[in-house]
Amino acid sequence: MAKHHVTTTVNGDPVEYLCESEQTLLDCLRDELDLVGAKEGCSSGDCGACSVLLDGRLVCSCLVLGVEAEGRSVETIEGMAQGDELHPLQRKFLEHAALQCGICTPGILVAAKALLAKNPDPTETQVRYWLAGNLCRCTGYDKIVRAVMDAAAEMRGA
């Protein structure tokens, strides 16, 4: 079937790609744009490894069709650091050793950033509920939650 031509913005840059109807946004990011930060864990909405922001809202890119990105703005983990300077969340994940295999990490960082954008001072419970859609098989979550709380404190200037 005819390919769709999609014009969109990814991490602030205008981009274009061609995709089939059945390619998801995750497929397009990874296979058409070589942005392989977002991971495919389950492709069924369960794990959150594919989390990106679409028009500023956190979504699972595995359940969004690639054509849906037309005219929208997509933010991925690749846009999080400013050049060599890591985002405070990224730094705190390293400091707290909040990752092991790392498959869940891009999705969790993007999700945590979305949380702090709307709630700069979350409680531990709020962090845990917000990150409920991001599964991690390695860390047991504790270090992740602490890293997010610590980054939030630093970003608030506390």
Binding site for another protein (CB under 8 A): 1, 4, 20-22, 24, 43-45, 48, 51, 54, 57-60, 62-65, 67-68, 111, 114, 128-130, 132-134
12-51 residues in contact with ligand FES (CB under 6 A) are 40-43, 45-50
Distance set, CA 93 to CA 45, 96, 117 (Å): 24, 5, 18
Query: Could you say whether residue 137 binds ligand FES (CB under 6 A)?
Result: yes
Q: Which does 129 bind (CB under 5 to 8 A by kind): another protein, ligand FES, ligand FAD, none?
A: another protein
Q: Which does 34 bind (CB under 5 to 8 A by kind): ligand FES, ligand FAD, another protein, none?
A: none
Distance set, CA 70 to CA 1, 14, 34 (Å): 19, 11, 18
Please say which residue, 58 or 152, places its beta carbon nearer to ligand FES: 58
Taking residues 41 to 70 in sequence order and writing x for each that binds ligand FAD by CB under 6 A, - otherwise, the string is: ----xx------------------------
Q: What CA–CA distance (Å, rounded) separates 66 from 129?
A: 28
70-89 residues in contact with ligand FES (CB under 6 A) are none
Q: What CA–CA distance (Å, rounded) separates 60 from 106?
A: 12
Query: Could you say whether residue 62 binds ligand FES (CB under 6 A)?
Result: yes
Please say which residue, 63 or 155, places its beta carbon nearer to another protein: 63
Strands 4-10, 73-75: pairing is parallel
- Which residues here bind ligand FAD, judged by CB under 6 A? 45-46
